Structure 1
Amino acid sequence: MASGELTSKDYITHHLTNWSVGEGFWTVHVDTLGWSIFMGLIFLFSFRAVAKTANAGVPTKWQCAVEMVVEFIDSTVKSTFHGKNPIIAPLALTIFVWVLLMNLLDLVPVDFIPWTAQQIGAAMGYDPHDVYMKAVPTTDLNMTIALALGVFILMIYYSIKMKGIGGFIKELTTQPFNTPWLYWFNFILEVVALLAKPLSLALRLFGNLYAGELIFILIAMTGLYQLPMHFVWAVFHLLVIPLQAFIFTILTVVYLSMAHEHH
């Protein structure tokens, strides 16, 4: 555990508390922002390095890995997205790799990063119990909602761009019942369905990663027995991490494909 003085409840609470600055609505989770930006920069610089050094000769292992990811996302977008938009494939690649890298932080032993932050805080004169560091951005509901909100904005933007404001309003009011006296009922149904898409995106990613992180914390509380148990759960979690990144990506592509439909 991070500290022998902590009770089990305090230990869990400490690991699930973000490093926050500000109060109320304007509270900023510094650790979520910091780690998400850091993993985003790793994605940008590593893929850019491969793009600059790629050649037709024998590729490096990292170049092979990057090419496999790019081809996988490209084929997925071609089979799922039925409109014409050059932004969708790069967007899908960015979402998949970025979410995947943020999820991978869940495999780091749960005590390592918080303990390191506590030691740095102690060296700077802070009480270690008051130093918080929650390293997995996708276990923060604020982060997953922010990602889903970006997708939602794109959905609205392309719906209006492709159909016009009048067409978008018709889409919300004339289905499933194309009867004027039921337009108000259609509008309620369609708005609920529209809002449910980003909400389900955010909650699905958050719920799976938060549950996985909580189990890692409970395993860490077993003390000397945590290593084999941690390994077993980490092996299982290797399936969850890319799967959740892929689900978030594929649903984003599906929703944007629906936004591009003219009917």
Structure 2
Amino acid sequence: MAGEAELTPTGYINHHLQNLTTSVGEGGFWTLHLDTLITAVLMGLLIVFAFWAATRKATSGVPGKWQAFVEICLEFVDKQARDTYHGPSRLVTPIAITLFFWILMMNLLKMIPADFIAKPLELAGVHYWKPVPTADVNATLGMSISVFFLMLFFAIRAKGFGGFTKEFLTAPFGKWMMPFNLIINIVEWVSKPISLAMRLFGNMFGGEIVFLLIWVLGGAGIIGALAGGVFGLGWMLFHLLVIPLQAFIFMMLSIVYLSLSEDAH
């Protein structure tokens, strides 16, 4: 079945965009994307191990190359978090570090050609594996919904439940315009996690499709292979900027939303 799908360019692309799924109960809403879950967890564990390796032999003197690199990365994220968020919480920097480096690691999987992962897995009997978790809207929505609940937590902690509810119903037009205030605030709060998720997903999913199209072009004879090599190299170099940029944007917007949730209107 997988071999037949690869006979045409459309079938090849659709095959590589298909998730490995499993259903809990009767399926539907409880259909899990195993490839997204497994890969996301592995990338999270990998970055934790990398940071642990840097701290394992950390020294206050002249640091090693890996320790120096990790310190530069962490100081960069910490500075961005401190410059953007001015509240009292100490959770913001750990949240920013987690979001940035976890998303960065997941995005970096885009630099590995899809067949380099899919072909070995097919030999093991796994015929569907979408390698980039951030090209799955379920993953990006999951992260953005987590940020949404953090926004609620920060807002209620800063204003109290009563103060948050009062502001939600009376801002920005006052208590006599309560229905309009409610509609506006619901749209504002809901739109933030949705836009956060769709921005990351759209860029990663679109990039994945272009990579697959270039890979298909490479199979169209000698000229196609040469064109595919040139376009693939150019697109890969472009994505060396896109991959960290998308992780940075997601992190920065999350910090901005957390900061705004504590501000009084």
Structure 1 length-normalised TM: 0.92
Number of the residue aligned with 1:124: none
Matches within 5 A, 1:88-107: 88-107=92-111
Return the match for 2:198 from 199, 203, 206.
Answer: 203
The answer to whether the 8 Å contact 1:154/1:256 transfers is yes
Number of the residue aligned with 2:162: 166
Task: Using the TM superposition, name which of 140-149 and 223-232 deviates more.
Answer: 223-232
The answer to whether the 8 Å contact 1:80/1:254 transfers is yes
Return the match for 2:85 from 74, 81, 84.
Answer: 81
Q: Relative contact order (C-alpha < 8 Å, sep 6+): which is higher?
A: 1
| 1-structure distance, mates of 2:117, 2:7 | 17
Number of the residue aligned with 1:218: 213
CA RMSD of aligned residues (A): 1.5
Q: The residue matched to 1:28 in structure 2 has which SS? A: strand
Structure 2 length-normalised TM: 0.92
Task: Using the TM superposition, name which of 138-147 and 107-116 deviates more.
Answer: 107-116
Does structure 1 residue 15 correspond to structure 2 residue 16? Answer: yes
The answer to whether the 8 Å contact 1:32/1:140 transfers is yes
Return the match for 1:156 from 132, 141, 152.
Answer: 152
Number of the residue aligned with 2:141: 145
Q: CA deviation at 1:3?
A: 4.9
Number of the residue aligned with 2:66: 62
Q: The residue matched to 1:116 in structure 2 has which SS? A: helix
Q: The residue matched to 1:51 in structure 2 has which SS? A: helix
What CA deviation, in whole Å up to 9, does each residue of 1:175-222 have, x standing for no partner? 2212x3211101100110010000000000000000000000000001
| 1-structure distance, mates of 2:99, 2:186 | 25
| 1-structure distance, mates of 2:81, 2:189 | 22
Number of the residue aligned with 1:51: 55
Q: CA deviation at 1:83?
A: 0.2
The answer to whether the 8 Å contact 1:17/1:132 transfers is yes
The runs of at least 4 consecutive aligned structure 1 residues that moved more than 4 Å come to: 2-5
Return the match for 1:72 from 60, 76, 99.
Answer: 76
| 2-structure distance, mates of 1:213, 1:152 | 27
Task: Using the TM superposition, name which of 199-208 and 154-163 deviates more.
Answer: 154-163
Does structure 1 residue 245 correspond to structure 2 residue 240? Answer: no
The answer to whether the 8 Å contact 1:70/1:93 transfers is yes
Q: CA deviation at 1:262?
A: 4.6
Does structure 1 residue 188 correspond to structure 2 residue 183? Answer: yes
| 2-structure distance, mates of 1:37, 1:45 | 12
Q: CA deviation at 1:174?
A: 1.6
* Percent sequence identity over aligned pairs: 47
The answer to whether the 8 Å contact 1:162/1:262 transfers is no
Number of the residue aligned with 2:132: 136
* Structure 1 residues without counterparts, runs of 5 or longer: 122-127
| 2-structure distance, mates of 1:262, 1:62 | 42
| 1-structure distance, mates of 2:130, 2:33 | 9
* Structure 2 residues without counterparts, runs of 5 or longer: 220-224
| 2-structure distance, mates of 1:236, 1:56 | 37
Return the match for 2:35 from 31, 37, 42.
Answer: 31
| 2-structure distance, mates of 1:203, 1:188 | 22
| 2-structure distance, mates of 1:114, 1:60 | 36
Q: The residue matched to 2:203 in structure 1 has which SS? A: helix
> What one-letter code is carried by the residue in structure 1 that aligns with 2:81?
V
